[in-house]
Amino acid sequence: MKVNIEFDCTPEEARRFMGLPDVEKANEIYVDAISNAMKGVSNVDQLQDFAAHLAPMGQFGLKMFQEFMESGAAFASGAGSNGTKGKPKD
For residue range 21-62, list pLDDT tens digits in order: 888 888 888 888 777 777 777 777 777 777 777 666 666 777
Give CA–CA dist 70/63, Å, rounded. 10
pTM for the model stands at 0.39
* Residue 50 neighbours by CB under 8 Å, 6+ apart: 37, 38, 41
Rounded to 5 degrees, φ, ψ at 36 are -65, -40
For the stretch 22-31, contacts whose Cβ atoms lie closer than 8 Å and that sit 24 or more positions apart, written own/partner, are: none
